[in-house]
Amino acid sequence: MNSADRPSDQSPSLDPVRAYLLQLELALETCDPALRHDALIDAEEHLRASVAAGTSPAQAIAEYGSPEEIAAAYRSIPTSGGSLRSSISTLAPSADSRSEPTAGAVHGRASVSSAASAAAVHPDSGAASSRWQRMRRIPLVGVWFHPIAWRSLVYFGIIGFPLALAYFVWVVTVGTIALGMLPILIGLPLLVFLLGSARALSLFEGKVVELFLGVRMPRRTQPVVGVGEGATQVGFWSRILCWLRDIRSWLSLGYLVGNFPVSLAAFTVTLTFSLVGLVFVALPILDLFGLPIGVAEMDDSTRIQFLFTEVKPDADGKLWLPPGAAVPSFLIGFGVLTATLWLARGMGWVYAHVVQAIQVARPRPAAPGR
Amino acid sequence: MPAPLDDKLERDLSVGTAWLVVLATIARAEEAIHGYEIARQLAAEAPEGLSFKQGTLYPMLRTMESEGLLRSELVPSSEGPARKCFTLTADGRRVLVAWHDTWRRTNKWVNRVLGGVDELR
């Protein structure tokens, strides 16, 4: 289209692709970081491929679309999958509505991006889900209806810690072997292997975190920097060099090690709080079914208190919930469990955003590529 | 007639047909096809003057994938990093067949109605 005859565009100092990526990053500033990350990689990969195929950078950029158009298209992606399902049918000009096939798109912009934006306007609109939405807004107790709070609880209380332990053992084992073997040179490739595995493991952890903590992780990984610019082969060594230079490798390695004490603490806190809460809730329920809350064999000097009331065993040594303690016990248990859910949700938010920050860490588009 | 209305139909049509042509491009490819290749084929066949911004394809592919119409895999490439390639899922094929049918009916109907205004040209 315009200025298609400027072969000098490919010089790294004035690389128009890089300049475009900077503009796109700016246009996507208010977007979710994971989405911005993916959008930049999509654009870079496409433009590099286009230039490698012989298109001039300026034309490739013109065909790709202005940063504003592209940013609008990415912003219109629904945050959770599946919410478009109902509106897909409205995108297809159906036989029943053919008198006005694209009514929703009349005010749309002059590009296909409006197709996605028109569709994204319809959120999940089931009656059941809106009831859930309302329940979630109840102060304090609303967290019981928040799926992310429950999933965070499962993450911190069950699966997070075993995973963290496995990562930690892997990194420490391979790391020490590699360091020990450094003098006989086998250690060096082993260290590079460790770095590669750290990248893969942290990508996997990102998927787990996205599933349980509900924070979007990037779908794409940064292509090997500088590759594709001239359709040259990616050598084994250039790939390794790229790993070594990529800040994400080192952040990932640091995460896999540092994550261990953090998730141990989160595991302990979550498990303790939930168990305490569950016990307080369970005692009145046991009492309700006519069951003792415990059995004790004790001498005269032993005293057992429950909620400031002394509990004495009966003739069989069974302990019964003191009269009047059932309601306070249940309320305390419910309060502790609610607090645990809030805690899990809060920890989940912080935790997931740290993981996200590691995943979207990428060299600035302005950085020199080679 | 105000000038902005001249290309209103074109805009509306490109919005309405974008998903259809992207699904069709993926369906006719013999193996998994990557984003750049889809964009290239669409651009090569697009009618003169029709603005198809290639960059809007990627968010579209992503939405289609999360809707279950597409499946993606990373295919190693000899020319660079592994590329994300797409194939239709069973759901995607079903939707494409339904949309194709809708398109044929709409096309026939519009042609029939337009047949009456030939003398205006």
Percent of chain B with pLDDT over 70: 87
User: CB–CB of A76 and B59 under 8 A?
Assistant: yes
Is the Cβ pair B19, A91 closer than 8 Å? Answer: yes
Q: Do B84 and A220 touch (CB under 8 A)?
A: yes
- pLDDT at A280 (0 to 100): 93
Residue A278 domain flag: yes
B93-121 pLDDT, tens digit each: 999 999 999 999 999 999 988 887 766 66
Domain end marker among A102, A123, A144? A123
Q: Is residue A41 part of a domain?
A: yes
How far apart CA A329 and CA A335 sit, in angstroms, is: 10
Residue from A299, A327, A328, A293 nearest A311 by CA? A293
Give the residue, B76 or A258, on which the prediction is more confident: A258
Q: Determine the structural domain holding residue A29 and report its residue range.
A: 13-81+112-123
Residue A300 lies in a domain: yes
Q: Residue B70 belongs to what H/E stretch? A: strand B70-77
Set of chain A residues whose Cβ sits within 8 Å of the Cβ of B62: 38, 77, 219
The pLDDT score that the predictor gives to residue A159 is 93
- Distance CA(B30)–CA(A94), nearest Å, equals 29
Pairing status of strand B33-34 against strand B80-88: antiparallel
Chains A and B form CB pairs within 8 A to the count of: 148
Please answer yes or no on whether B63 and A78 come within 8 Å at the CB atom. yes
A132 belongs to a structural domain: no
CA–CA dist A85, A77 (Å, integer): 13
B92 interfaces chain A, CB cutoff of 8 Å: no
Q: Do A21 and A51 touch, CB atoms closer than 8 A?
A: no
Residues of B in contact with A77 (CB under 8 A): 59, 62-63
| Structural domains in chain B plus CATH codes | 3-120 (1.10.10.10)
Pair of tokens at residue A297: 């064999």
Nearby residues of A254 by Cβ (< 8 Å), 6 or more positions away = none
Sort out which chain B residues have CB atoms less than 8 A from A119's CB and list them: 63
Is B81's CB within 8 Å of A82's CB?
A: no
- What is chain A's pLDDT, residue by residue, as a tens digit (370 residues)? 444 444 444 444 568 888 999 999 999 988 888 888 889 988 988 898 888 888 899 989 988 989 998 998 898 887 654 344 433 333 333 333 333 333 333 333 333 343 343 333 334 445 666 777 788 788 888 889 888 899 999 999 999 999 999 999 999 999 999 999 988 888 888 988 999 899 889 889 998 998 999 888 887 766 554 444 444 456 677 777 877 878 888 889 999 999 999 999 999 999 999 999 999 999 999 988 988 888 887 777 778 888 888 888 888 888 888 888 889 999 999 999 999 999 999 999 999 999 988 888 765 444 444 3
- Those residues whose C-beta lies under 8 Å from the C-beta of residue A121, and which sit 6 or more positions away, are A87, A104
Report the residue from A73, A88, A223 with minimal CB separation from B56: A73
Q: Can you tell me which residue has the tokens 């959770």?
A: A80
Global pTM reads 0.64
Chain A CB within 8 Å of residue B26 CB: no
Residue A185 distance to chain B (closest CA, Å): 28
The residue ranges of DSSP E strands in chain A, in sequence order, are: 294-295, 304-306, 309-311, 318-319
State how far residue B31 is from chain A, nearest Cα, in angstroms: 19
Residue A58 lies in a domain: yes
Q: Is residue A27 part of a domain?
A: yes
Q: Pick the residue of B54, B64, B78 with the most A CBs within 10 A to test the interface with A by mutation.
A: B54
Q: Could you tell me if A240 lies within 8 Å of chain B, comparing CB atoms?
A: no
Q: Do A64 and B12 touch (CB under 8 A)?
A: no
Q: Judged by CB atoms within 8 Å, which residues 43-82 of B form the interface with A? A: 43, 51-60, 62-63, 66-67, 78-81
pLDDT in tens, A10-57: 444 568 888 999 999 999 988 888 888 889 988 988 898 888 888 899
Q: Which residue of B has its CA nearest to A233?
A: B79
Q: Which of residues 35-54 of A touch B (CB under 8 A)?
A: 38-39, 42-43, 45-46, 48-50, 52-53
Q: Where among A72, A99, A123 does a domain terminate? A: A123
In a domain, A363, yes or no: no
- The number of distinct structural domains making up chain A is 2
- Asked whether residue A171 is domain-assigned, the answer is no
Please report the pLDDT score of residue A152 as a whole number.
94
The whole-angstrom separation of Cα A304 and Cα A296 is 10
Restricting to A residues 93-122, those with a Cβ less than 8 Å away from any Cβ of B are: 93-95, 98, 101-102, 105-106, 108-116, 118-119
Q: Which of B37, B36, B1, B46 is nearest to B18 (CA)?
A: B46
What's the rounded Cα separation, in Å, for the pair A221 and A199? Answer: 10
Q: Does B16 touch chain A (CB under 8 A)?
A: yes
Asked if A113 lies within 8 A of B95 by C-beta distance, the reply is no
